[in-house]
Amino acid sequence: MVREKGHSFNLTQRPSSSSSKAPSFSLSPSVSTPPSPSIKETNETFGMSLRLRNRISSRLPSISQLFSKQLSVNSAMSTELEGSSSQFDFEEKEELYYSDEIASTSTTKMDDAQRKLEKSRRLGLEFEGQLKNLTHLLRVITEELPSYLKTQGGKLAKILVPHKQGDHILLQIVNKMKMIKGFHTAFTDGFDVVDFSSIQEDPQLATVIIENADVLKSFIPFLKEKRELVEEVKLSRANDKELDLALKKFEEKHFKRGGHLNLQNQLDRIHQTIMRYGFLMEEFGKCFSDGSEMKKKAEEAVKKLKDVITIVEAEMATATENETRKVHERLQGRFDTFKKARKLLLQERVWSDNGMRLQERYLILFTDCMLVCRLTNSKDPGCTFEKDFYEFDLNTIEIEIDQYQEYEKVLKVSTTQRGFFFLFENGKLKTDWIKAILDSQEKMKNRIGYDKKIVEAKKKFLKPVWVLESGECLMEQCSDKFKSPEERNYCRRCGLSICPLCTGFAPVSQYQFEKQIVCPDCFEEILDDYVTGTLFPEELKLSRKGKLYVKTGKTEEVKAAEKLFKEPKKRDLKKFDLEERKKETKAFGFVYLRSGAMETEAYAWLKNDNRLVFVKQKLDFKPIFERNIGSHNVQRSKEKDGFVFAFSKKGRTTDDFTFRVKEPNSIKKWNTVLADHFTDSK
């Protein structure tokens, strides 16, 4: 194949039946056509057989569709890959998805060999399913999307018109997908001879893979630029509301399964599918006995696929390096992103709630630390970060895992600087973060230089996360409602929200014994320690004229010990025990409480003793009202927007109270815990 630097090439297509020994793509220098890197790349043959190349050439789109400008987007890389990869798994589960569980439960009577055959059959079916799914996806993007845009007319239809200054990003994607579709069709065509219903009897599947796997290498140029394409789509959607809205409608219709993935996520599926082909074939090979023809062929096929996957994975690794470099730039070189054994794991834009307002923040997770950054320009997704960012050693942070489904977007992080209340865009992202943080913390414990004692010593300074989800003072005998945000204080020792009358001051150990706001309960505990002489470490104590002085804060400012206390107006109050609350809860969740035609947002809290308590805010204790539902009947009815649960006292026909639940998880939960009360037979 002729390739010269500095020339641009013209691609001519040969008929697929060509038996010529010449390469199936012939390249000739051309002056009139602009250089197009994507074409040069897709012309790489990666050592494909001639037969294969011929088949591919017959599947490629016509030349006019192939020109597109190369992308150079310097915007921020997001966690698209990490974020969407497991969403994709989720989607797969709804389709043909191999599962050991199914295999073992449904085939308990079979012997081992039979079970393996059955497993191989299922794997074959999933392989076929994967082929079909990707074919379908590519068809949707290359055919449905353009015709949809055309019917929208106006500006949206113009997207499809090639442009001198470079095509619209969607047109670029459609064209690239046409290319991929050509290759993939060439790949799937090979499977025409495979009988997927008797896959376990004949090594045809493996043979076809061996012959065709090289085609998949043609996906690599696309995979290389996938992230940039995704970023550009995001950017153009953010800047063009009309387009975004139109795409959302399209996505709702065509990408329904697996939680409405967007177009950007769908681009990841191509990468995922190739990985999955490899996995399935590997599992397939395990189903056959050593030395058998089936096994031999399967292993050969796995090797072929691995060749492709290795290249794909290498490209993905490079993408991570690029991301790390970008993070380094955005931090303006103030943080060593390339430190040995430090790897970038996740980054995400979140909201931080400080009890007064939400602020935009950018979280970056490395294998050994987490950064909390502020953006210099919230309009620019790739902007630099403010120079004063938080950096936390992963060893010395603690995350709180919220038990309530409804709050799955919240991540609470306790650090030595302060507690954080982060809001993620969705629950899936938040779950990914929790998993990544816990995993990394576990791995760090095995690192050389990890010293448990030092870590424990640092953890003494962990600040509590403020309890923002309560509208009342959390002292048990107080429960005063907050009438304004100014009335609301937070105990610096335990984080509970307290009213002005319950607010006291005391030297708090997490703050190096600075005088800080405390609740009445914490006040008593600190005072007790003070009286018994165990509060301050010896090295911080000074004695002057018979009076006790203490070095406080980071600057070790010397203060009279007694001056560090100011008692709250209300003394001897106990705080509500949030841990105990979890233990005595049978079910908890957000509901719409009904009264006539009116609905009020509330939280329903069913306790173990059958008391059903309704509170205004999530962690309130004072009920709006409560009932013991031990002898209530519950009638369920489905509505357009959720499920309605109507409670009536046994023997009476009129409803006592009614609430509606919207979220599927929540509906499931109430259906379970109220099962004994249902009068219907559903």
Out of 145, 346, 436, 522, name the contact with Zn ion by CB under 5 A: 522
Binding mask 381-420 for Zn ion (x = CB under 5 A): ----------------------------------------
Name which position in 491, 506, 619, 667 contacts Zn ion (CB under 5 A): 491
Q: Site mask, Zn ion, residues 586-625, x = CB under 5 A?
A: ----------------------------------------
Q: Which of 180, 494, 550, 591 binds Zn ion (CB under 5 A)?
A: 494
Q: Cα 644–650–651 angle (5° rounding)?
A: 120
Name the token pair of 229. 């394409």
Token digits for 597?
A: 């035609």
* Cβ 83 to Zn ion shortest distance, Å: 37
Please, are residues 565 and 552 in contact by the beta-carbon 8 Å criterion?
A: no
Residue with tokens 């006790």: 548
Q: Kindly determine how many residues on this chain lie close enough to bind Zn ion according to the rule CB under 5 A.
A: 11
Site mask for Zn ion (CB under 5 A), range 462-481, x = bound: -----------x-x--x-x-
Q: Which residue lies nearer to Zn ion by CB, 502 or 667?
A: 502
Instruction: Assess contact for 281 and 301: CB atoms under 8 A.
Output: yes
Who contacts 65 (Cβ-Cβ below 8 Å, separation ≥6)? 175, 178
**Phi, psi of 362, deg, nearest 5:** -125, 120
629 is a site residue for Zn ion (CB under 5 A): no
As a whole number of angstroms, the distance between CA 473 and CA 471 comes to 7
Smallest distance from the beta carbon of 498 to Zn ion, in angstroms? 5
Q: How far apart, in whole angstroms, are the C-alpha atoms of residue 238 and residue 501?
A: 48
Q: Least distance (Å) from Zn ion to the CB of residue 257?
A: 48
Minimum CB–partner distance for residue 622 and Zn ion (Å): 11
What's the closest the beta carbon of residue 520 comes to Zn ion, in angstroms? 8
The one-character DSSP state at 62 is P
Q: Which stretch binds Zn ion (CB under 5 A): 138-146, 396-404, 454-462, 516-524?
A: 516-524
| Given 53, 181, 409, 493, the residue binding Zn ion (CB under 5 A) | 493
The Cα 349–Cα 672 span in angstroms is: 36
What are residue 378's phi and psi, to 5 degrees? -70, -15
Contact stretch for Zn ion (CB under 5 A) within 119-127, 501-509, 634-642, 656-664: 501-509
Residue 661, strand partner residues? 643
With binding defined as CB under 5 A, does residue 281 bind Zn ion?
no
Question: 37 is written with which tokens?
Answer: 């890197």
Q: Is 517 in the site for Zn ion (CB under 5 A)?
A: no
CA angle centred on 632, ends 631 and 637, rounded to 5°: 155
Minimum distance from residue 522 beta carbon to Zn ion (Å)? 3
3-state helix vs strand vs coil in the chain, percent to 5? 45, 20, 35
Nearer to Zn ion, 93 or 483 (CB): 483
CB 385 within 8 A of CB 332: yes
Q: In terms of CB distance, is 182 or 568 closer to Zn ion?
A: 568
Q: Considering the complex, what minimum distance in angstroms separates the CB of residue 478 from Zn ion?
A: 3
Judged by beta carbon, residue 475 or residue 604, the one nearer Zn ion is 475
Stretch that binds Zn ion, among 233-241, 307-315, 328-336, 514-522 (CB under 5 A): 514-522
Considering the complex, state which of residue 122 and residue 488 has its C-beta at the smaller distance from Zn ion. 488
Q: Quick one: which segment of 66-74, 485-493, 553-561, 582-590 binds Zn ion (CB under 5 A)?
A: 485-493
Q: Is 519 in the site for Zn ion (CB under 5 A)?
A: yes
- Can you tell me which of 194, 215, 331, 502 binds Zn ion, judged by CB under 5 A? 502
Query: Looking at beta carbons only, is 180 or 522 nearer to Zn ion?
Result: 522
Number of other CB atoms surrounding residue 392 within 10 Å: 16
The residue among 162 and 623 lying less far from Zn ion, judged by its C-beta, is 623
What is Dmax (Cα atoms) for the chain? 106
120 alpha-carbon distance from chain centroid? 32
Q: How far is the CB of 412 from Zn ion (least distance, A)?
A: 16
Residue range at the interface with Zn ion (CB under 5 A); choices 152-160, 194-202, 515-523, 552-560 = 515-523
CB of 517 to Zn ion, least distance (A): 9
User: Nearer Cβ to Zn ion, position 144 or 400?
Assistant: 400
CB of 574 to Zn ion, least distance (A): 11
Please compute, for residue 597, the number of CA atoms within 13 A of its CA located in the half-sphere on the CB side: 0
**462-471 as b/e: b if 16+ CB within 10 A:** bbbbbbbbbb
181: which strand partners? none
User: 254 by DSSP, 3-state: which?
Assistant: helix
**Minimum distance from CB of 603 to Zn ion (Å)?**
21
CA distance 643 to 678: 13
Nearer to Zn ion among residue 208 and residue 474 (C-beta): 474
Nearer Cβ to Zn ion (138/518): 518
Residue 499 interacting with Zn ion (CB under 5 A):
yes
Backbone φ and ψ for 46, nearest 5 degrees, come out as 50, 35
Q: Which of 568, 579, 571, 469 is nearest to 516 (CA)?
A: 568
Q: Least distance (Å) from Zn ion to the CB of residue 527?
A: 12
446: CB partners within 8 A, 6+ apart: none
**Surface-to-core class of residue 137, CB atoms within 10 Å of its CB (0-12 exposed, 13-18 middle, 19+ buried):** buried
User: Please, what's the b/e burial string for 358-377 (b: 16 or more CB within 10 A of its CB; e: otherwise)?
Assistant: eeebbbbbbbbbbbbbbbee
CB 313, min distance to Zn ion, A: 50
Query: Which range of residues in 438-446, 492-500, 604-612, 613-621 is near Zn ion by CB under 5 A?
Result: 492-500
List interacting residues with Zn ion (CB under 5 A). Answer: 473, 475, 478, 480, 491, 493-494, 499, 502, 519, 522
